[in-house]
């Protein structure tokens, strides 16, 4: 079926006078004439007896599927049809000058005249693509959004950086969170690491310190690179857009307030660990759901001094964790933000949020920095835990021991088994267990470290998984972790508050490295997998049947 593409008018003027209605009394003939005359005019109101029309000989050019692409059809008959010749007996041809004069007299100067052109007229859309409000919104977003790459620099970079010897560009796409960068897609012309080094050197010579170049996996790639590994593409972003901003004064103030709150929660943990020594009214208020009237908190002041060693232990583990990050980041020239401590009354602290203040050069560096902090904190925590267990079984340290319910050891399969092996079956199969405060500090430190090593978002575990196995693996691990936390399988009663904290503060994955393609070594992958396995054993609680068989805690039966 043909599709109308354009209409053009010849210089023949046809005048339909007011007495035309006399010749069209027959409705059937009138409809037929309307149909013929409206093929190219697309009239909306039809034909009126009193109206005067100027028609021209119309040529309709149509793209026809029946091989009629070059045909020209005369819509208005030029006199060969006998019926139409009777109807248009009073219509006379006029010259082009008479045509212009009649048009001006009949339609008036205030009416627009159709211009005669041999070119097909442009058909405008029925309505605008966007209204004025949407256009203004787009302009405002572009004005307030991040600065985009200069088109002149794009042309310069394509000429100076890319070519047959490095990377042959075949396509360009937007790059970045808001499309503020350029992604160059094409074919790699050498080893990816060597090509990337050449491109970085040429970029510095061409534009100085203006842009950052990222080597990333090609999105939606259908096949791997013929040289092995994934296909790569190169993203270009301005430095002020891609690099994190400096730490502000308000962030320092917030970090200080959070540290003070974390200190308070750590002291509170030390006081709560002496539950067998606290006044009965205080214990009742914190353990009885029906208790309404709070006790006199001054009763807790005598227990603050004895709570400080445990508080120091919790804060020391937190400090070791952050020092581990710094010791690995500084030699690799990666800047870190100040830590934002997260207070928690159950563990003393949920750890701290530490941000990268510079772009990570490669995935190996991301894995090393991410694992350094948890490994340092876990080393100190396990030392405290082991020493505390040994002191708990030493009669000479009986005066320093505190009584805790044996069911607390069911909170971790790994730590419960270690405690069972050192303290023995009889000690853990009682209603209460006498332990040294170092055991509590080490237990809380190992639990906090395990939570931070969960493979989700931008936690240390999420960064390690993203660096070792890629962003796709992080998505799979993250969904599994959220599911286990939601079901309470990991972390027991702390799974819900920890999951909410991650969703609010740590859910977004870390941004890509400059070289986000080169794989990490086998031993790094093995270290990450081992760490995740130990995390699962640490956060997996012991159910009653297994606890009864292993002798971890006294299981009550009703």
pLDDT in the model for residue 55:
39
The alpha carbons of the chain give a radius of gyration, in whole angstroms, of 40
Spatial separation of the C-alpha atoms in residues 303 and 268, rounded to whole Å: 10
Q: How is the chain split among helix, strand and coil, in percent rounded to 5?
A: 50, 15, 35
Interval 400-413 mean pLDDT: 84
Of 42-51, 184-193, 514-523, the poorest mean pLDDT is in 42-51
In the predicted structure, residue 385 carries a pLDDT above the cut 60: yes
Interval 524-549 mean pLDDT: 90
Q: Looking at per-residue confidence, does 270 or 280 come out higher?
A: 270
Interval 289-311 mean pLDDT: 78
pLDDT in the model for residue 319:
94
Confidence band, pLDDT 50/70/90 cuts, at residue 291: low
pLDDT in the model for residue 176:
82
In the predicted structure, residue 364 carries a pLDDT above the cut 90: yes
Provide the token pair at 146.
Answer: 């991040």
Length of the chain: 558
| pLDDT tens per residue, range 442-492 | 999 999 999 999 999 999 999 999 999 988 899 999 999 999 998 888 988
Q: Looking at per-residue confidence, does 395 or 162 come out higher?
A: 162
pLDDT in the model for residue 179:
76
pLDDT in the model for residue 201:
93
Of 350-359, 534-543, 547-556, the poorest mean pLDDT is in 547-556
Q: 3-state class of 294 per DSSP?
A: coil
Among positive and negative, which fits the CA dihedral 170, 176, 178, 180?
negative
Spatial separation of the C-alpha atoms in residues 370 and 139, rounded to whole Å: 40
pLDDT in the model for residue 356:
92
Confidence band, pLDDT 50/70/90 cuts, at residue 190: confident
Q: 3-state class of 33 per DSSP?
A: helix
pLDDT in the model for residue 130:
54
- The rounded percent of the chain whose pLDDT value lies above 70 is 71
Interval 114-127 mean pLDDT: 43
Confidence band, pLDDT 50/70/90 cuts, at residue 139: low
Quote the mean pLDDT of the chain.
76
Q: Looking at per-residue confidence, does 318 or 86 come out higher?
A: 318
pLDDT in the model for residue 415:
92
| Half-sphere CA count of 371, side-chain side, radius 13 A | 22
In the predicted structure, residue 61 carries a pLDDT above the cut 50: no
Q: Looking at per-residue confidence, does 419 or 284 come out higher?
A: 419
Q: Looking at per-residue confidence, does 472 or 298 come out higher?
A: 472
In the predicted structure, residue 524 carries a pLDDT above the cut 60: yes
Name the E strands within 70-166: 72-74
Tell me the C-alpha to C-alpha distance, in Å, between residue 399 and each of 267, 396, 402, 403: 20, 8, 9, 11
Of 105-119, 153-167, 193-207, 318-332, the poorest mean pLDDT is in 105-119
pLDDT in the model for residue 259:
95
Interval 342-346 mean pLDDT: 90
| pLDDT tens per residue, range 83-92 | 444 443 443 4
Q: Looking at per-residue confidence, does 171 or 72 come out higher?
A: 171
Q: Looking at per-residue confidence, does 118 or 502 come out higher?
A: 502
Interval 131-143 mean pLDDT: 53
Of 107-121, 149-163, 184-198, the poorest mean pLDDT is in 107-121
The answer to whether the beta carbons of residues 255 and 201 sit under 8 Å apart is no
Q: Is the pTM higher than 0.75?
A: no
Spatial separation of the C-alpha atoms in residues 363 and 347, rounded to whole Å: 32
The answer to whether the beta carbons of residues 528 and 455 sit under 8 Å apart is no
């Amino acid at each position: 079926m043909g599709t109308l593409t354009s209409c053009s008018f010849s210089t023949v003027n046809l005048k339909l006078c007011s007495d035309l209605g006399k010749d069209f009394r027959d409705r059937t003939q009138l409809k037929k004439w309307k149909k013929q005359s409206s093929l190219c005019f697309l009239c909306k109101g039809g034909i009126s007896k009193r109206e005067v029309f100027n028609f021209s000989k119309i040529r309709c050019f149509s793209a026809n599927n029946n091989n009629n692409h070059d045909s020209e059809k005369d819509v208005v008959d030029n006199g060969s049809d006998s019926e139409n010749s009777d109807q248009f007996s009073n219509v006379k041809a006029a010259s082009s000058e008479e045509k212009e004069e009649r048009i001006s007299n009949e339609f008036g100067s205030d009416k627009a005249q159709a211009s005669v052109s041999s070119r097909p007229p442009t058909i405008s859309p029925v309505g605008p693509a966007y209204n004025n409000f949407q256009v203004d919104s787009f302009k405002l977003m572009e004005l307030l959004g991040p600065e985009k790459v200069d088109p002149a620099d794009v042309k310069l970079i394509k000429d100076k950086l890319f070519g047959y010897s490095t990377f042959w560009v075949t396509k360009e796409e937007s790059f970045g969170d808001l499309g503020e960068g350029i992604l160059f897609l094409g074919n790699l012309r050498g080893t990816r690491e060597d090509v990337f080094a050449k491109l970085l050197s040429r970029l510095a010579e061409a534009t100085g310190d203006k842009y950052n170049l990222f080597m990333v996996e090609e999105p939606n790639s259908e096949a791997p690179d013929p040289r092995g590994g994934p296909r790569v593409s190169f993203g270009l972003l301005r430095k002020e857009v891609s690099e994190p901003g400096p730490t502000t004064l308000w962030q320092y103030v917030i970090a200080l307030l959070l540290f003070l709150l974390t200190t308070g929660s750590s002291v509170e943990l030390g006081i709560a660990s002496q539950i067998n020594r606290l006044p009965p009214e205080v214990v009742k208020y914190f353990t009885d759901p029906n208790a309404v009237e709070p006790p006199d908190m001054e009763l807790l002041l005598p227990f603050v001094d004895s709570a400080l060693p445990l508080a120091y232990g919790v804060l020391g583990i937190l400090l070791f964790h952050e020092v581990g990050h710094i010791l690995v980041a500084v030699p690799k020239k990666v800047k870190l933000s100040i830590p934002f401590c997260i207070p928690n009354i159950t563990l003393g602290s949920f750890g701290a949020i530490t941000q990268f203040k510079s772009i990570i050069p490669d995935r190996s560096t991301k894995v090393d920095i991410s694992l350094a902090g948890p490994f340092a904190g876990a080393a100190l925590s396990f030392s405290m835990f082991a020493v505390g267990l040994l002191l708990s079984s030493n009669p000479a340290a009986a005066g320093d021991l505190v009584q805790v319910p044996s069911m607390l050891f069911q909170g971790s399969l790994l730590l419960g088994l270690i405690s069972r092996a050192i303290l023995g079956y009889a000690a853990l199969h009682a209603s209460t267990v006498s332990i040294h405060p170092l055991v509590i500090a080490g237990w809380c430190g190992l639990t906090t470290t395990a939570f931070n090593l969960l493979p989700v978002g931008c936690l240390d575990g999420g960064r390690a998984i993203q660096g070792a196995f890629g962003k796709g693996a992080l998505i799979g691990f993250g969904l599994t972790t959220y599911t286990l936390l939601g079901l309470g399988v990991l972390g027991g009663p702390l799974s819900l508050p920890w999951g909410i904290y991650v969703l609010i503060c740590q859910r977004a994955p870390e941004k890509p490295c400059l070289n986000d393609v080169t794989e990490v070594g086998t031993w790094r992958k093995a270290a990450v997998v081992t760490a995740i396995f130990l995390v699962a054993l640490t956060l997996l609680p012991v159910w009653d049947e297994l606890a009864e068989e292993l002798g971890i805690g006294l299981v009550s039966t009703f």
